[in-house]
Structure 1
Amino acid sequence: MKIEYNFAFFDEGSKREIRRATLKAIAIPGYQVPFASREMPIARGWGTGGLQLTLSLVGKEDILKVIDQGSDESVNAVNIKKLIALTTGIVVTDETTEATIIQSRHRIPETPLQEDQILVLQVPIPEPLRYYEPSEYETKKLHAEHEYSGAWLMLFEQIVNYGAMSTGADHPVMVHSRYVMAPSPIPRFDNPKLNQNKALILLGAGREKKVYAVPPYTKVASLDFADYPFRVETFQDKCCRLCGAKDVFLDELLNDITGEALYQCNDTSYCLQRMNGISKE
């Protein structure tokens, strides 16, 4: 028996409801907008928030790219691509420059995004104040009152304990000088890419039923102190062993024979593109 779905899986009413929440999120940068998160054919926590955003926005002419921690071929990325392609018939690509919609988990592509692109980030914990305030009611009050001293206190405690801010990922940011926002578990290396980005950036948390956004050309600043400025991960004097790229986020690998540390581009598509360019030369 052949089972047929509506275009992009959802019924049109569900798409409209998610789009309305998305429009409100775009109108109020960094603000978490509640939405009626739907049941999906994948488990919550595996990107259902981002997937719902993508399915509500995708059109027949769109080109889709899905990455998971920099990889186009991880289990999560492959299965999300399969679901979207099977229910829409749209073209899927690994090239960042070709895609109109890019859904990502834990990374922003190395290739700069453009004005005609949408980046959808999967989010596990959308509330940046949750680490020190468990009550949803209280966190909403803190956002409304612009009371973010707890966020700075959290970073100050890291400095006291470790001598530096120790957030490896999901370092909180201030959006449009108004809302403190969780940028999703992207590494600190990717935080500066949020600032004045040409693309529309949408963030969806399916389990927490929240959507929020960073519109194009929006000011985004990572929280820090004057005497302890925000710093990204550094790979000084290191380059990708495959394409030779520098100034990108690198994965550290270990040579099983020599025990030597090797470095490789985390963004597999970017690395392959560079290698193809080098081979043509």
Structure 2
Amino acid sequence: MKTKSHFAFFDEGSKKEIRRAILKAVAIPGYQVPFASREMPIARGWGTGGLQITLSIIGKNDVLKVIDQGADESVNAVSIKKLVQSTTGVELVERTQEASIIQSRHRIPEVPLTPEQILVLQVPEPEPLRRVEKSAYKTKILHSENDYSGAWLMLFEQIMKYGRTATGADHPVYVNNRYVMAPSPIPRYDNPKLHQSEAIILLGAGREKKIYAVPPYTDVESLAFDDYPFSVESFTGKSCHLCGAEDVFLDELVDPATNETIYQCNDTSYCIEQLNKSEEVEVETSHA
């Protein structure tokens, strides 16, 4: 007997259940909504939470972009794109501006997002208090009582030990003046992009069975003390060795030919776009 295939992998009942969780998450910014995480043809921990959100909201006219730590062609990104495309037939793109849905692991694109776009972030650990409290029952109580002293204490201990906060990624944020939220392991550089974002941001943790969201134009503030303000990674005086871009998140590499440190755009599609623009300028200049 031939098995019936569903658009976007899931049956309609599953998609409706996940959509209901998404709607609740949007209605309560930063609140972790539990959902019945489905079994997927990829292992948990490889983006199943974000993938389930994408498969539940995607339509036939959507255009999809998937990135993994800034790269469009990593194994994780390619596998997710193949699954979504094979079950939906939607168009796949690399240019951020052309996508209606962007699923990402560990990065927010350099190009500012628009109200017509949805950003889906893959989340390994959705609970921002897990480092200070192992009990899920107790963390729920702390959230309900708006008691985030443990998160502040964690940052204070880092300052005492290192002279600064030492969260390289997943720095906790305060959403809508109510919930402390884990922004997923995006670098500190991307935290400011959450504040008053024009695009809706959906975060999914498949293994932990949680969905949460940052609706458009929502206040998002990175936790910090007045005398130790929040700061992002600094790339002052550095630029991409390929396209020359500045004021973007850069990867630090070693040139095998010279053994010297070089920098390169972490967002590969942004880097390619800047290179194409430079080539167009050179062509126009030569014709002039």
TM-score, normalising length from structure 2?
0.96
Does residue 1:192 correspond to 2:192, yes or no? yes
What's the CA shift string for 1:64-120, capped at 9, x where partnerless?
000000000000000000000000000000010000000000000000000010000
Residues 198-277 of structure 1 mapped to structure 2, 5 A cutoff: 198-277=198-277
Match of residue 50 from structure 1: 50
Supply the distance in 2 between the matched residues of 1:143 and 1:111 (Cα, whole angstroms). Answer: 33
SS of equivalent to 2:98:
coil
Supply the distance in 2 between the matched residues of 1:280 and 1:3 (Cα, whole angstroms). Answer: 51
* Cα drift, residue 124 of structure 1: 0.1
Residues 73-222 of structure 1 mapped to structure 2, 5 A cutoff: 73-222=73-222
SS of equivalent to 2:55:
helix
* Cα drift, residue 5 of structure 1: 2.1
Percent identity between the two aligned chains: 72
* Cα drift, residue 201 of structure 1: 0.0
* CA RMSD between the two structures: 1.0
Supply the distance in 1 between the matched residues of 2:46 and 2:14 (Cα, whole angstroms). Answer: 20
Aligned AA (1:89): G
Aligned AA (2:47): G
SS of equivalent to 1:97:
helix
Match of residue 70 from structure 2: 70
Aligned AA (1:200): I
CA separation of 1:267/1:4 partners in 2, compared to 1, >3 Å: closer, same or farther? farther
* Cα drift, residue 2 of structure 1: 7.8
TM-score, normalising length from structure 1?
0.99
CA separation of 1:2/1:63 partners in 2, compared to 1, >3 Å: closer, same or farther? farther
Structure 2 residues without counterparts, runs of 5 or longer: 282-288
Aligned AA (1:49): G
* Cα drift, residue 256 of structure 1: 1.8
